[in-house]
Amino acid sequence: MLRRFVLLISLLLAAPALAQDKLVIFAAASLTEALSEAGAAYTNAGHPPPVFSFAASSALARQIESGAPAGLFISADEEWMDYLGMRNLIAPDSRISFLGNTLVLVTPKGQPLGVTITPNFDLAGALKGRKLALADPTGVPAGRYGRAALEFLGAWTAAEHLVVRADNVRAALTFVERKEAAAGIVYATDAALTDKVEIAGTFPADSHPSVSYPMAIIARNDSTQARAFRDFLLSDVAKSIYRKYGFAVR
């Protein structure tokens, strides 16, 4: 009986250490499927399984700043990686921008807006008082890209009051899927994951900052394990997964 009690106490004491041995990856929500598949491939090759936390890059960066135990951060824009870099929270030699994406306007399936994305297009008029789903443009990359595109094209001022702000790009997509918004601005890779929306148009590449996904190791959690997984994410095996989901590989 005493031996069992000692064994139980030993296991309980070991649990936190086991948790700390896990490689935790903080990554933009738009990468959920691609990185999950890449993680599975890495595990199947005989490596310890990584643990993923997917959310808006803004939320993840702030969590890392507050001490969250991430080993690797993958952002959906350069600005949030810069944010951590200026605070000396990333290993500079590990930073690399390795993926790109395209920004699109989507509508619920079978409910077209009847607009063409051109300079000064009347998005607000097409919405007719209905909602436009957009990741929060004050901080979330997809929202910032979307706002920049609408400003460049002269459509933001008239449509701003119709915007429903979502926590991240996947939440914006969900608003459109559920027909709670008449349109939304998301990445092309997000739109490709569902048959409940259709693409109404693609925003010109020069209408917004290039959609870029940088990754870097978190300095305080730099390790052989983090370096190994970073290398895998840059491998040909991983690149084939990204391409399958529609990402541009750099």
Whether 218 and 187 map to the same domain: the answer is no
Counted domains in the chain: 2
- The Cα 15–Cα 10 span in angstroms is 9
Considering the domain architecture, whether residues 108 and 198 belong to the same structural domain is answered as yes
- What is the extent of the structural domain holding 17? 2-99+213-249
Task: Give the pLDDT band of residue 20 (cuts 50, 70, 90).
Answer: low
Model-level pTM greater than 0.95? no
Same domain, 167 and 236: no
Q: What's the pLDDT tens digit per position in 209-243?
A: 999 999 999 999 999 999 999 999 999 999 999 99
- Provide mean pLDDT across the span 82-94: 98
Q: Output the domain CATH number for residue 6.
A: 3.40.190.10
Per-residue confidence (pLDDT) for residue 18, from 0 to 100: 36
In this prediction, residue 84 has a pLDDT band, given cuts at 50, 70 and 90, of: very high
**Do 111 and 202 sit in the same domain of this protein?**
yes
Closest to 52 (Cα-Cα) out of 76, 70, 78, 77: 70
Highest mean pLDDT among 3-17, 20-34, 185-199: 185-199
Give pLDDT, residue 110. 96
Q: How far apart are CA 78 and CA 203, in angstroms?
A: 19
Which of 223, 106, 85 lies closest to 170, judged by CA? 106
